[in-house]
Structure formats: structure tokens, C-alpha cells
Amino acid sequence: MLLNFDRLGWWKYALVAVTVLTAAFLLLPILFIAALSFGSSQWLIFPPPGWTLQWYSQLFADPQWLGSAWTSFRIASIVTVLSVLLGLVTSFGLVRGTFLFRDALKALFLTPMILPVVVLAVALYAFFLRMGLGGTMIGFVISHLVLALPFSILSISNALEGFDKSIEDAAVLCGASPLEAKIRVTLPAISHGLFSAAVFSFLTSWDEVVVAIFMASPTLQTLPVKVWSTLRQDLTPVIAAASSLLILLTITLMALVAIARKVLKS
């Protein structure tokens, strides 16, 4: 009775009310930022006295904001490529391997997901100071890759586990070389895993704040770091505009994943 929606009686209304309110609570800040970014009030008064695009034009006129967005995009793109390639090779080893401690090694690869990010950030900061990699593009890419790789390994391994290896063997028996069979048979079959690995890697790097705060230098910073340092001075609506762009990219990528899942599954 409690698990039958239609027979809940008045409890039904109470539960639906809590759920809808919670959804509204979760949605509120996201809609609020979008509204703020078009509001004409410098003091973030809501509802705003009028609507304007001036915060976006300020954002696009400022070489620092644009530069950090471009930096973020470049880092996230490089991280995505490396993460998918490395994740793919590693997943083959982890899923089909027969070596000792296979499960322990897989757990090791996933550890960066559960470690408090601040610990990793501080550790890498110290390490890169010594290596002279602090505030460099390579430093950013490496540190974001540490965080993105687990997502990549997880999605590709899952896809590979769901793929029947005998199909690949059949291609080899039909005359394909083992590499050819992997590229022309296995890769297309696990493409949904590769795709989500790419999207998760990109978003992990694009949205990363904590490690980036420690990695950034005055001349090289990502968009979230620029948002962070601006936030510490004031709450200007330009941040709302920048945040809206960050969110817009996330929504676009998530929609792509949803569409790709449908297309690749059918």
C-alpha cells in the first residue's frame, strides 16, 4: 500500500508536495543565476528594475575573462583526449587481464574519486612547486587528468565488460588482425562508454575548482579560478554571466549524452 502511488490517500499529496518543493529548491539557484545575469541592477536586487545584456558585454570585453575561458577550454580538451586514450588502454588491461591484484589495482585507479580533493590539491601543489610545474599548462593538464581518469576508466570498463569478447575473436578468425578487430569491431560496440568517458572527463576538468585554485598563477588561470578570485572581491553580476555560460555548456553536454545514449543504443 505504501508503495502504490494511487492508494496512498492523503499521504500522496504530502509526499508529492515535499518532492516538488525539493526539486524547486534544487532548481532555484540555477534559474536565479540566469535571471541575475540579465538583470540591470549592479546590487543584485531581485526582481531587477530592468533587463540588460551589459554583464555579458563586460564579460566578453575583458581579456582576462575571455583568456581564462579559453584556458579552461584548452585544458579540458587536452585532458579529454588523454583521459579517453589512457582510460581505453587501461580498461582493456583491467577487464581482460589475468594478473595478480587486478581488483586492488582497479580500486587504486578509482581512489582519486573518493580522496578529499583538498588533500590532492595541496599534495600536487607541493609536488609541482619542486618540479617547477606550478602555474603551467602541463601542471593543469596533469592535475585535472588525475581527477578525470577514474571517470574514464569506470565508463569504458563498464562498457567493455558488457561486450562479448567472442565477437572480437570471431573477427580475428575471419581474417582480421587482432588490432583491426579491436578497432573495427570492439571500439564501435563500446562507443557509448567512450562517449560518456569523454563528456565526464571534459566536465571534470571544466568545472574543477579546488585543484585549479592551487595550480593557478597570475598569468594562467581557468574560468572557475577567475570566478573564485572575483567572488572574493565582490558579487558583481559579471560572475552571474560567467556562471551562466559555465552552466550552459554543462546543459549542452548533458543533452548530448542523453541523445547519444538513445542513438547508440538503438
Q: Which of residues 77-96 bind another protein (CB under 8 A)?
A: 86-87, 89-90, 92-94, 96
Q: What is the DSSP string of the chain?
A: -TT-GGG-TTHHHHHHHHHHHHHHHHHHHHHHHHHHHHB--TT--SS-SSB-SHHHHHHHH-HHHHHHHHHHHHHHHHHHHHHHHHHHHHHHHHHH---TTHHHHHHHHHHHHHS-HHHHHHHHHHHHHHHT-TTSHHHHHHHHHHHHHHHHHHHHHHHHHTS-HHHHHHHHHTT--HHHHIIIIIHHHTHHHHHHHHHHHHHHHHH--HHHHHH--SS---HHHHHHHHHHH---HHHHHHHHHHHHHHHHHHHHHHHHHHHHH-
212, 140 in Cβ contact below 8 A? yes
Q: Which of 76, 84, 142, 194 binds another protein (CB under 8 A)?
A: 142
Q: Which of 63, 100, 179, 266 binds another protein (CB under 8 A)?
A: 100
Residue 94: all three cell numbers together: 583491467
Return the number of the residue (61 or 119) whose C-beta is nearest another protein.
Answer: 119
Return the number of the residue (78 or 86) whose C-beta is nearest another protein.
Answer: 86
Q: If binding means CB under 8 A, how many residues of this protein chain bind another protein?
A: 91
Q: Which of 53, 108, 167, 259 binds another protein (CB under 8 A)?
A: 108
Q: Is the peptide bond before 47 cis (omega within 30 degrees of 0)?
A: yes
Task: Give me the least distance between CB of 256 and another protein, in Å please.
Answer: 12
Q: Is 51 in the site for another protein (CB under 8 A)?
A: no
Q: Which of 11, 137, 259, 261 binds another protein (CB under 8 A)?
A: 11
Distance CA 77, CA 265 (A): 26
Q: Which of 59, 76, 79, 124 binds another protein (CB under 8 A)?
A: 124
Task: Give me the least distance between CB of 180 and another protein, in Å please.
Answer: 13
The window from 7-15, 56-64, 73-81, 189-197 that contacts another protein (CB under 8 A) reads: 7-15
Site for another protein in 155-174 (CB under 8 A): 169, 172-173
Task: Give me the least distance between CB of 81 and another protein, in Å please.
Answer: 14
The window from 10-18, 63-71, 159-167, 186-194 that contacts another protein (CB under 8 A) reads: 10-18
Task: Give me the least distance between CB of 61 and another protein, in Å please.
Answer: 21
207-246 mask for another protein (x: CB under 8 A)?
A: x-xx---x---------x--xx--x---x---xx--xx-x
Distance CA 37, CA 35 (A): 5
Q: Is 264 in the site for another protein (CB under 8 A)?
A: no
Q: Is 250 in the site for another protein (CB under 8 A)?
A: yes
